Structure 1
Amino acid sequence: MGSVNRYDNLNLPLLQDSAPNSPDQKNQFVEDHEKDLKTRVWMESKKLWHIVGPSVFSRLTSYSMLVVTQAFAGHLGDLELASISIANNVIVGFNFGLLLGMASALETLCGQAFGAKRYDMLGMYMQRSWIVLFLCCILLLPLYVYAAPILKLLGQPEKVAEQSGLVAVWFIPLHFSFAFQCTLQRFLQSQLKTGVLAWVSLVALVIHVFISWLFVYKFELGVVGAAVALDVSWWVLVFGLLGYTVCGGCPQTWTGFSLQAFSGLWDFFRLSAASGVMLCLENWYYRILILVAGNLENATITVNALSVCMSINGWEMMIPLAFFAGTGVRVANELGAGNGKAAKLATKVAVVQSTIIGIFFCALIMIFHDKFALIFSSSKDVLEAVDKLSHLLAITILLNSVQPVLSGVAVGSGWQSWVAYINLGCYYLIGVPVGILMGWVFHLGVEGIWGGMIFGGTAVQTAILAIITIQSNWDKEAKKATMHVEKWSTLGQHNQS
């Protein structure tokens, strides 16, 4: 009987559970599928926010050091605020954009290697990045030394250019700190050690507020004191992260300094350069707005108003940039592990959540359009000028909640080279000319320039990146990432031999 019953089961449908026929079965199938999707989204959200949460905090505190410096300078006077703003947003921002972009090559390599469990490669990648970025810092030094004549050549008022040139020279120590801070941050993020970034950034911010007060008010060093305080605080951040890394915080990925780091530098430089061009074209875009504004009537008030808006935008931008980092790490980790579908899910979750946050801050700016500038200035003229620009700031914040996430996907996937061409075309062949056309030809002033750059450049670039991301073959990208990891793991050995 037992054998007969067993053979009777052969008459049952083989796929009875996976192909429900009754309404109740179909409803249960849909519920199970939705429950599975909710679980996957929840799990991905937890992984993403494990990176994004501490990254938001560390970026906000790091950027707050720049904001604190501007706030101290702003209460010294309009000239001091303008000089710190231009030195920070134009000279430092120009160089930081390039170095930050070059360091993103480390995000691709370390993220994919960590996903592939090739932990020994991460420390070597970081040392190569140190060498490449430090050499680039030396090459970029003339921009600090000759900042005053450069700014005059770009049309800045003489007093503002001279004062900005003085501040830029005192920012040279800050400039060299970027070569180490950017790389250490990406090294730690790629292996999900984000908590240390938050704690070290908090300590650096507390120290910065104290020494800024000490140098500006107690020692009465003026705008130079504000600049020196920023130098000291940023190096506190660097030594804190370095101390954690080399003193046992990363036992699997840091095995000490090695001469092998000097091998394969040219190939590493080429990848870093592509990354640098991709991100610095984005980072420089709105710096051009401040430079152009210096050629308009009532330049000091206009520059100050724009600097306030750019500072608020930059402050809020730390959240999308944290999503940029989180998305880059998640996509790189999953592609390195050969899991294309998980990389696709990570992209969707990051875009949706970052957009929701962007909508919230966009609404916040519109509500407090006539009040938020009080953080930086008590000048009635500056407050009125900022109020007129608040609607453009709100739109910029909304667009920037999506675009950095898509750039994070590009970094995690290793698409930097051709995304650089997209950025060049959208920003500089479309955005800047449209902005100039709106500002001067149609006489709309700084609002026309900014509006043209938003809709002519940022919106177009975001749309193109969205289309590319949607149409990507993620299984193919996973295979490419596996080959990429193998290539870079053998590169150093090949060059050594």
Structure 2
Amino acid sequence: MEGGVNESLITEVAKTKEEGTLKDRVWTEWKKMWIVAGPAIFTRFSTFGVSIISQAFIGHIGATELAAFALVSTVLLRFGNGVLLGMSSALGTLCGQSYGAKQYEMLGVHLQRSWLILFISSIALLPIFIFTSPILKALGQEEAIAEVAETISLWIIPGLFSFVLSYTCQMFLQAQSKNMIIAYLAGFSLAIHGFLSWLLTVKYKFGLSGAMLSTILALWIPNIGQLIYIFGGWFPETWKGFSMLVFKDLWPIIKLSLSSGLMLCLELWYNTILVLLTGSMEKAEIAIDALSICLNISGWIMMISLGFMAAASVRVSNELGRGSSRAAKFSIVQIVLTSFAIGFVLFIIFLFLRGRLAYIFTESTEVAAAVADLSPLLACSILLNSIQPVLSGVAVGAGWQSTVAYVNIACYYLIGIPVGVFLGYVCQLQVTGVWIGMLFGTLTQTIVLLIITYKTDWEKQVWIAKQRISNWSLESDQQDVGDEQNA
């Protein structure tokens, strides 16, 4: 008994010496965090910038076109985007934990499985983009806006399929902390998009068609570069070529992908409902334009938090796969505090900027005034969004997607939306009341996720990760195939 205790103490001392002082641990984790978060933030800024540039050029074409693009991007595209991004986060869980456990060959197999699942999901989403006009009219949108929105949504279909490759390749590369190439490609694509948008809409006056053509090209350029990088021999350990094992044991991965998709969709659809509720209020066009500008600014700032979300997912999954609960907890604390500090600074800045940024997107003084009225809510949204996505990243790294989906349903749809409808329609606060209710739901969700993360038994999470890796290891799959052939 005494020998076992002494051995345990020696092990703990050895771990402490290996990790060094608190200062050394903080610095080491800081570097690991920014290796993922830095490129991820830049990539998301650039990718979101594609939408911002498109909206800026379309906004100067006309108010109806701007409102239609806002509806497509914040309702339909966000819907499809949420499904695919959420489902691809399952790949982040699997690749991150497999990489931490040094099951390198499984990363390529997981990537191919995710391609198959997401491609089928994209086909299932097509009717939403094909029948945009009747869908929006049924939801109470103005006929003129719905007609233009249908034209935009048909243009955006190739962009929907671009997300299949974009998100999955990013998860594959991020799990290995090799995502600088993603940032380079995203920056190059953004520059090309800015030039083409000016060339096609201003120089040659192609209007809406020119802006959408430039948008599609900007979405596909990074995918081509990422595929060349993966297939070109730079990943000899994690990419072994195409394998028939992709079709083996798909159902458990489909279930994880569906729960991942539901988790993120419930978050993204939350803001979508805000836009839809606004569409039936007084002066709908001005309200939608002002709200879409605020949501785009909030969304752009949120790219910072999504970068930290990626870092949290990678660091937690890698450490759980490696078997270190202590390192996983240390990563969570450092990433949450860093993201919150940045969010607090931005909260202060946007409290004072108010409606000045609106003129980037519109020339209407009415829309700018409406944006100014919403600015305090925008600042609060930015502050909350500095924490909530990071906690979602922790959930992805640990594989808690199903649990977080239930939390989202309760906080967003049973609390946030009813409160927003009551304040907006019953109390006649209009879009301000709706947004206050939605923020209340986000605050509730953030508090619940903080409690769950704090009370989690991380040693148990290490055991669960090991079981998951063991069940889906390449050796296990090959053994199953061999048994079937022998039978």
TM-score (norm 1): 0.92
Check the 8 A contact 1:104/1:275 in 2, yes or no: yes
Which moved further from structure 2: 309-318 or 264-273? Answer: 264-273
Within the candidate set 138, 146, 159, 2:144 is matched to 159
Cα deviation, 1:68-109, whole Å, max 9, x if unaligned, reads 000000111111111111111111111101110000000000
Distance 1:381 1:492 in 2: 62
- Whether contact under 8 Å (1:282, 1:423) holds in the other structure is yes
Alpha carbons 1:97, 1:279 under 8 Å: kept: yes
Which whole-Å deviations, capped at 9, do the CAs of 1:127-153 have from their partners, x for residues lacking one? Answer: 000010000000000000001110111
Give me the whole-angstrom Cα distance separating, in 2, the residues matched to 1:356 and 1:478. 29
In 1, Cα distance between the equivalents of 2:236 and 2:186?
A: 22
Partner of 2:271: 286
Pair 1:213-2:198 in alignment: yes
Separation of aligned partners in 1, 2:348 and 2:213: 36
Contact 1:177 1:238 in 2 (8 A): yes
Give 2:451's aligned amino acid: I
1:472 to 443, 456, 461: 456
1:178-237 superposed Cα distances (whole Å, 9 cap, x missing partner): 111010011100000011111011111111112212221233221222122111111101
Query: Partner residue of 2:3?
Result: none
Matched, 1:418 2:378: no
Show the counterpart of 1:10. none
The match for 2:134 is 149
* 2:243 is aligned with 1:258: yes
What is the match of residue 23 of structure 2?
38
The separation in 1 between residues aligned to 2:34 and 2:121, in whole angstroms, is 33
2:101 to 108, 116, 120: 116
Per the TM alignment, residue 264 of structure 1 is displaced from its structure 2 partner at its CA by 2.1
Which residue matches 1:366?
351
Provide, for residues 430-467 of structure 1, a one-character-per-residue CA deviation record: whole Å limited to 9, x for no partner: 11111001100111100000001101x10000000000
**C-alpha distance in structure 2 between counterparts of 1:465 and 1:357, whole Å:** 20
Aligned partner of residue 369 in structure 1, secondary structure: helix
Matches within 5 A, 1:385-396: 385-396=370-381
Could you tell me how far apart the structure 2 residues matched to 1:141 and 1:126 are? 23
Between the aligned partners of 1:329 and 1:383, the Cα distance in structure 2 is 40
**For structure 2, which runs of at least 5 residues remain unmatched after alignment?**
1-5, 11-16
Query: What are the superposed Cα offsets for residues 290-346 of structure 1, whole Å, 9 maximum, x if unpaired?
Result: 111000010000000000001001100110001000000000000000000000000
- Among 291, 302, 327, the alignment partner of 2:312 is 327
Find the aligned partners of 1:479 and 1:151 in 2 and give their Cα distance: 47
Matched, 1:267 2:258: no
Match in the other structure for 2:294: 309
Does residue 1:408 correspond to 2:393, yes or no?
Answer: yes
CA 1:487/1:35 → structure 2, altered by over 3 Å: closer, same or farther?
closer
In structure 1, which of residues 210, 222, 237 is the aligned counterpart of residue 207 of structure 2? Answer: 222
Q: Which amino acid aligns with 2:450?
A: A
Q: Is the 8 A contact 1:82 1:303 kept in 2?
A: yes
User: Partner of 2:465 in structure 1?
Assistant: 481
Q: Which residue of 2 aligns with 1:444?
A: 429
Number of the residue aligned with 2:443:
459
After TM superposition, the structure 1 = structure 2 runs for residues 41-190 of structure 1, keeping only pairs within 5 Å, are 41-190=26-175
Give the distance between the partners of 2:157 and 2:414, measured in 1 at CA.
Answer: 32
**How much does 1:473 deviate?**
1.2
Aligned equivalents of 1:148, 1:390: Cα separation in 2: 31
Where does structure 1 lack aligned partners over 5 or more consecutive residues?
Answer: 1-13, 19-31
Match 1:337 to one of 309, 322, 332 = 322
**Match in the other structure for 1:397:** 382
Deviation (angstroms), 1:53: 0.6
- The corresponding residue for 1:238 is 223
Residue 23 of structure 1 is matched in structure 2 by none
How far residue 495 of structure 1 moved from its aligned partner, in angstroms, is 5.8
Contact 1:366–1:391, Cα closer than 8 Å, also in 2: yes
Residue pair 1:351, 1:402 contacting (<8 A) in 2 also: yes
User: How high is the TM-score relative to the length of structure 2?
Assistant: 0.93
| Kept in 2: contact 1:339–1:478 (CA 8 A) | yes
Shift of 1:35: 8.3
Q: Contact 1:263–1:495 (CA<8 Å) still a contact in 2?
A: no
Contact 1:264 1:495 in 2 (8 A): no
Matched AA of 2:101: A
> Aligned equivalents of 2:78 and 2:403: distance in 1?
23
Secondary structure of residue in 1 paired with 2:302: helix
Q: Structure 1 residue 390: deviation in Å?
A: 0.3
User: For residues 152 and 210 of structure 2, what CA distance do their matches in structure 1 show?
Assistant: 10
Aligned equivalent of 2:233 = 248
Which secondary structure state, in structure 1, belongs to the residue aligned with residue 178 of structure 2? coil
Aligned pair partner of 1:198 in 178, 183, 186: 183
SS of corresponding position for 2:240: coil
Give the aligned residue type for 2:473.
S
Question: Aligned equivalents of 1:207 and 1:258: distance in 2?
Answer: 35
Assess if the C-alpha contact under 8 Å between 1:313 and 1:397 holds in 2: yes
SS of the aligned residue for 1:255 comes to: coil
Number of aligned positions between the proteins: 466
Query: Would you say the 8 A contact 1:111–1:333 is kept in 2?
Result: yes
Secondary structure (helix, strand or coil) at the match of 1:368 reads: helix
Letter in structure 1 aligned against 2:288 = V
| 3-state SS of 1:138 partner | helix
Letter of the 2:460 partner, please give it.
Answer: K
- 1:349 and 1:420 map into 2 onto residues whose CA distance is 25
Q: Deviations over 1:348-375 (max 9, x none)?
A: 0000000000001111111211311122
**What is the CA-CA distance between 1:263 and the residue it aligns to?**
2.1
